[in-house]
Amino acid sequence: MDINFAAPAEFVELAAKTKAFVIDKVIPYENDPRWTSHGPTDELRIELNTLAKEAGVFAPHVSKEYGGRALNQVGRALVFEAAGYSILGPMAVHCASPDEGNIHLLDHVARPDQREHFLKRMATGQIRSIFCMTEPDGAGSDPSMMTTTARLDGNEWVINGRKWLITGAEGAGCAIIMAKNEGGPMDGHATMFLADLPDPTIRIERTLDTMDSSFTGGHGVLEIKDLRLPADSVLGEVGKGFRYAQVRLAPARLSHCMRWLGSAVRAQDIAADYARTRVAFGKKLGEHEGVSFMLADNLMDMHGARLAILHTAWLLDQGDRAANESSMAKVICSEAYFRVADRCMQILGGLGITRDTVVERFFRDARAFRIYDGPSEVHRWALGARVVAGKIA
């Protein structure tokens, strides 16, 4: 295996600066009432974005033309982990999902006028964006089941369908919508469209009540009824929607891993502090092997996760698609994070399930991470099929 992912000093320094920012400026907001069950409000997001700009840690991954540092994937691995030390951190430094993945996609596929109108405002945090693929009765684990349609009518596309679990829907300023072409030479192929929001033909039926609470705008159910978009609203080329989804998904699922690794580190710090001070049966909890072994298992889970992230990041930086590695990293990291959050709750005893620490919140978010960006079973199924077909040794 060919690996060399030594990180430049510049990235290491930025990661340290980002972590210091999260500890000093972001963590104090963790009890802010504007962090609701449907995520932090836009008011809170904008306030934290302003602090991140002042601290010089805002949006380091975006391209230099929009004020970022155009971090490569290895750089992101370090900085996003640092941001993830608080759930509010990625939102504060503007590397949270779905914007981060959407920015990456537009940076690769959008035309100059689309960059100016959409990407510029997304990258600078002026608007939030959503990615609309999943459907209640169609696309899910299997996107080819998409039922949302796009039909060309003269110089306009007419789009109809329902989407759900759409992160950030409430308050978003633009949408990337995936739909299947109806008629024309690309009949049955998926296309991506860019739309300004709000739009009266894209109605938020409701915001779902979910276990997780880290994404601004919650997760919405959208009805798209006769949305009319100009012919040039297509992102990239007609019929290449699934291909572009791959451009977005591999790095986007890896950046979830990076951010949540930061949360695992924080949960471990909280649990270790407790184990160092709380006494039971005449000694510190951490002196009981049953507890210290849990801390050791956490350490090993986080180490494995970090190596999987760095290797995949490095491969992506070499221009490799890293399809297998990003699938493996997604499963390794989401499952490791869930175990770490669970063990930390256990070490904290009754305190662990209260909101007196953030570990309880990490645990709820960790559960959702095993489902979005491909459930574990779908990644295992795809990897296993490639092994059986002799495509992966």
Ligand X SMILES: Cc1cc2nc3c(=O)[nH]c(=O)nc-3n(C[C@H](O)[C@H](O)[C@H](O)COP(=O)(O)OP(=O)(O)OC[C@H]3O[C@@H](n4cnc5c(N)ncnc54)[C@H](O)[C@@H]3O)c2cc1C
For residues 99 and 172, the answer to whether their CB atoms sit within 8 Å is no
- Give the residue nearest to ligand X (CB): 140
User: Is residue 378 at the binding interface for ligand X, with CB under 6 A as the rule?
Assistant: yes
User: Is residue 348 at the binding interface for ligand X, with CB under 6 A as the rule?
Assistant: no
User: Is residue 219 at the binding interface for ligand X, with CB under 6 A as the rule?
Assistant: yes
Which DSSP string do the residues of 39-86 spell out, in sequence order?
EE-HHHHHHHHHHHHHHT-S-TTS-GGGTS----HHHHHHHHHHHTTS
Closest approach of ligand X to the CB of residue 215, in Å: 7
Whole-number Å distance between alpha carbons of 294 and 361: 19
User: Is residue 140 at the binding interface for ligand X, with CB under 6 A as the rule?
Assistant: yes
The SS3 of residue 313 is helix
Among residues 134, 213, 233, 255, the one that binds ligand X under rule CB under 6 A = 134
User: Is residue 141 at the binding interface for ligand X, with CB under 6 A as the rule?
Assistant: yes
User: Is residue 362 at the binding interface for ligand X, with CB under 6 A as the rule?
Assistant: no
For residues 274 and 347, the answer to whether their CB atoms sit within 8 Å is yes
**Which residue, 214 or 268, has its beta carbon nearer to ligand X?**
214
Closest CA to 79 of 128, 30, 22, 4: 22
User: Is residue 165 at the binding interface for ligand X, with CB under 6 A as the rule?
Assistant: yes
User: Is residue 242 at the binding interface for ligand X, with CB under 6 A as the rule?
Assistant: no
Closest approach of ligand X to the CB of residue 130, in Å: 6
Angle made by CA atoms 289, 292, 294, in degrees to the nearest 5: 110
Whole-number Å distance between alpha carbons of 341 and 332: 14
Stretch that binds ligand X, among 40-48, 69-77, 134-142, 288-296 (CB under 6 A): 134-142
CA 219 from centroid of its chain's CA atoms? 13
Half-sphere exposure of 339 (CA within 13 A, CB side): 17
Q: What are phi and psi of 237, to 5 degrees?
A: -105, 150
Closest approach of ligand X to the CB of residue 123, in Å: 18
User: Is residue 99 at the binding interface for ligand X, with CB under 6 A as the rule?
Assistant: no
Tell me whether strands 202-207 and 149-153 are parallel, antiparallel or unpaired. unpaired
Among residues 98, 125, 251, 286, the one that binds ligand X under rule CB under 6 A = 98
Among residues 107, 212, 301, 360, the one that binds ligand X under rule CB under 6 A = 212
Among residues 205, 375, 383, 386, the one that binds ligand X under rule CB under 6 A = 375
User: Is residue 377 at the binding interface for ligand X, with CB under 6 A as the rule?
Assistant: yes
Q: How many residues bind ligand X (CB under 6 A)?
A: 20
**Which residue, 29 or 381, has its beta carbon nearer to ligand X?**
381
- The contact set with ligand X (CB under 6 A) reads 98, 131-134, 140-141, 165-167, 210, 212, 219, 368, 371-372, 375, 377-378, 381
